Amino acid sequence: MLSNPTPAPATAVEAAMVAFETALQGLRDVGFGELSNNRDRLDLVQRFETGTRTIAGFGTVLIADMQEQWIPGELGDYRLADVLADTLRIYPSEAKARRRIAEDLGPRTGFSGAPLDPVYPNTAAAHRDGAIDRAHITVIREFFAQVPSYVDAETREQAEAKLAEQARILRPDQLRRAGNRILAYLNPDGNAPEVDRDRKRTFILGKQGTDLMTKGSFCVDPELRSYLEALFAKYAKPGVGNPHDADSTVDAEPTDEVAHRDERSVGQRQHDALTMVLRDALASGTLGQHRGLPVTVVATMTVKELEDASGTAITGGGSLLPIRDVLRVARHAHHYLALFDDDDGRPIYLGRSKRIAQGDQRLVCYARDKGCTFPGCWRPANCCQCHHCREWVAELGLTDVDQLALVCDSHHRLAGVKDTDWHTIVAGPDHQYPGRILWVPPKHVDPTRKPRINHYFHPHEYWDLD
């Protein structure tokens, strides 16, 4: 009896991929029980490592090619990194890191259409050969981030070739030490020009931990350091601004007794000093507006949470703020606090006939949406603008709060009325989440066009999912 022949692969790439997947399945089926000694096992682990690195090199080339031909919204999102994160189910930070590596190690095309070598050609070759892994690449990229701007192109090329050569035989930690020696040779005086100092300046606020505390890192320029020194000289002295001492002062010189009982460390006093200065700056009203609201703290919570003085509010920046801290903040300045019903949490109705959403409407959106409504987006409310779920028409359109949605700048570009755009609708009263914003994907993203909702800012809803 004749069986139906297996269709031939459409391309040579597909044929090779089928053979590769078949070989992987074969390894899974065979297992490794027949290996009798650790030398054989180690050799196989080494071969697997080379194969894994080679596959990563293939991915780098593909990501670089996608970046060269990228059309925003073509695959369902505006940024390639977001598409990679969603498709591969990896951290957005990991997706961005892979894209940046592809920019440096992937093939490029010039303005004339002629192919160009990668930014780091020797490192790219070692990556494709499976000789180096991600850690080696990170060391090399960090090395060039520290190379002074006055070093000429030829010297940079020689350094890259030498580092790539050493990466094939050294561990990443050993490669870093070799890179430091090369860097010391290139910059023996160690005096970075102003342009290099400017390139290094950074202030990164990390993510909140489970204890609601936040770690970060910074590298400040001489100007900011001078400001901090002046600030700490006054506000970080023992006995000044101690939140645990009612007798602690700010304006007057603290008494010896108050200063003596201040048990805070230097780091804690400097932390509290920054808190005081930033609180005063926000309360001053001189910082202008951001997206239609004064630059200040916007916190949302339920009436029950406020009455019980327990739980956490969520700020416009997406942070969690304990209710007791909200009450303390409210004593110092007129910040924004939006209170919503405990049962359904639905906002009150506010209508406007102007094109721009008013400040009170933005507050309602802050409280209801808490951040970008696009499925899976994590950007907080103060990084969003108000999007009209019904397309606004100058003659007839209304800017009503129940038809507004918070959307970040990136995903706002995806919304529209064409068949290739994402559409936004408001969930009806019979929906599981009435009044919430639903995003309907275009057919090329989801042929069924099933509406999607963002649960990121409403984590309790994840328990409701089937």
At 421 the pLDDT is: 87
**Which residue among 194, 229, 264 closes a domain?**
194
CA dist., res. 380 & res. 370, Å (int): 7
For residues 202 and 417, the model is more confident at: 202
Same-domain check for residues 331 and 371: no
Question: Residue 7: pLDDT band by 50, 70, 90 thresholds?
Answer: low
* Token pair for 152: 């000429």
When pLDDT is averaged across residues 317-339 and rounded to a whole number, the result is: 67
CA dist., res. 416 & res. 367, Å (int): 25
At 391 the pLDDT is: 53
Question: In the chain, pLDDT over 90 holds for what percent of residues?
Answer: 29
CB atoms within 10 A of CB 187: 16
347 is a domain residue: no
At 402 the pLDDT is: 63
* Token pair for 459: 């984590």
Beta bridge partners of 136: none
Question: Residue 300: pLDDT band by 50, 70, 90 thresholds?
Answer: confident
At 97 the pLDDT is: 93
Same-domain check for residues 315 and 381: no
At 355 the pLDDT is: 38
Look up tokens 């010297």; give the residue. Answer: 155
For residues 36 and 103, the model is more confident at: 103
Question: Residue 302: pLDDT band by 50, 70, 90 thresholds?
Answer: low
242 is a domain residue: yes
Contacts for 317 with CB less than 8 Å, ≥ 6 apart: 380, 381, 382, 383
At 350 the pLDDT is: 35
Question: Residue 128: pLDDT band by 50, 70, 90 thresholds?
Answer: very high
CA dist., res. 67 & res. 143, Å (int): 24
CA dist., res. 122 & res. 281, Å (int): 51
At 77 the pLDDT is: 81
Residue 355 CB-half CA count within 13 A: 5
User: What's the first-to-final CA gap in the chain, in angstroms?
Assistant: 45
200 is a domain residue: no
Look up tokens 């590298």; give the residue. Answer: 219
Tens digit of pLDDT for each residue in 227-254? 898 889 888 889 898 888 887 777 778 8
Conformational region of residue 376, where left means phi above 0, alpha means psi within -120 to 50, and beta covers everything else: left
* Token pair for 171: 């561990």
When pLDDT is averaged across residues 157-183 and rounded to a whole number, the result is: 91
- Answer yes or no: are the C-beta atoms of 394 and 417 closer than 8 Å: no
**Least confident interval from 187-196, 198-207, 451-460:** 187-196
CA dist., res. 356 & res. 259, Å (int): 52
Taking each helix axis from N to C terminus, what angle separates 121-128 and 134-146, rounded to the nearest 10 degrees?
A: 170
Number of domains in the chain: 4
Write the CA distances from 302 to 47, 159, 315, integer angstroms: 57, 59, 13
At 267 the pLDDT is: 92
Three-state secondary-structure class, residue 17:
helix
Most confident of the following: 38-47, 304-313, 396-405? 38-47
Same-domain check for residues 389 and 315: no
DSSP, res 216: E
Work out the burial of residue 4: count CB atoms within 10 Å of its CB; fewer than 13 is exposed, 13-18 middle, 19 or more buried.
exposed
At 400 the pLDDT is: 54
219 is a domain residue: yes
Three-state secondary-structure class, residue 71:
coil
352 is a domain residue: no
Same-domain check for residues 148 and 240: no
* Token pair for 84: 């990679």
Length of the chain: 466
Question: Residue 134: pLDDT band by 50, 70, 90 thresholds?
Answer: very high
**Which residue among 194, 223, 250 closes a domain?**
194
User: How far from the centroid of its chain's Cα atoms is residue 389's Cα?
Assistant: 26
Same-domain check for residues 296 and 280: no
Nearest to residue 359, comparing CAs of 439, 427, 289, 278?
Answer: 289
190 is a domain residue: yes
Question: Residue 353: pLDDT band by 50, 70, 90 thresholds?
Answer: very low
At 157 the pLDDT is: 93
CA dist., res. 314 & res. 333, Å (int): 18
Q: Please state, rounded to an integer, the average pLDDT across all residues of the chain.
A: 82
Work out the burial of residue 75: count CB atoms within 10 Å of its CB; fewer than 13 is exposed, 13-18 middle, 19 or more buried.
middle
Same-domain check for residues 251 and 373: no
Conformational region of residue 119, where left means phi above 0, alpha means psi within -120 to 50, and beta covers everything else: alpha
At 164 the pLDDT is: 94
* Token pair for 229: 């020194």
Question: Residue 466: pLDDT band by 50, 70, 90 thresholds?
Answer: low
DSSP 160-195: HHHHHHHHTTS-HHHHHHHHHHHHHHH-TT----HH
* Token pair for 11: 């391309």
At 1 the pLDDT is: 44
Same-domain check for residues 335 and 388: no
Same-domain check for residues 304 and 373: no
- Answer yes or no: are the C-beta atoms of 170 and 189 closer than 8 Å: no
**Least confident interval from 62-71, 121-130, 355-364, 454-463:** 355-364
CB atoms within 10 A of CB 452: 17
At 361 the pLDDT is: 66
* Token pair for 110: 């010039």
**Least confident interval from 7-21, 61-75, 390-404:** 390-404
DSSP, res 382: G
Residue 51 has pLDDT above 60, yes or no: yes
At 349 the pLDDT is: 34
Same-domain check for residues 316 and 256: no
206 is a domain residue: no
For residues 169 and 307, the model is more confident at: 169
443 is a domain residue: yes
When pLDDT is averaged across residues 145-172 and rounded to a whole number, the result is: 91
**Least confident interval from 187-196, 231-240, 292-301, 355-364:** 355-364
- Answer yes or no: are the C-beta atoms of 67 and 106 closer than 8 Å: yes
**Which residue among 249, 265, 284 closes a domain?**
284
When pLDDT is averaged across residues 388-413 and rounded to a whole number, the result is: 67
Q: Any idea what the Cα angle at residue 207 is, between residues 102 and 461, rounded to 5°?
A: 100
When pLDDT is averaged across residues 313-332 and rounded to a whole number, the result is: 76
Same-domain check for residues 159 and 224: no
Most confident of the following: 65-79, 102-116, 123-137, 184-198? 123-137
Same-domain check for residues 45 and 185: yes
When pLDDT is averaged across residues 65-78 and rounded to a whole number, the result is: 86
For residues 447 and 297, the model is more confident at: 447
When pLDDT is averaged across residues 417-431 and rounded to a whole number, the result is: 87
What domain range includes position 323? Answer: 292-340
Nearest to residue 437, comparing CAs of 397, 358, 384?
Answer: 384
Question: In the chain, pLDDT over 70 holds for what percent of residues?
Answer: 83
Look up tokens 């010896």; give the residue. Answer: 256
Residue 96 has pLDDT above 50, yes or no: yes
Same-domain check for residues 222 and 116: no
Strands (E), 40-157: 108-109, 115-116
At 428 the pLDDT is: 85
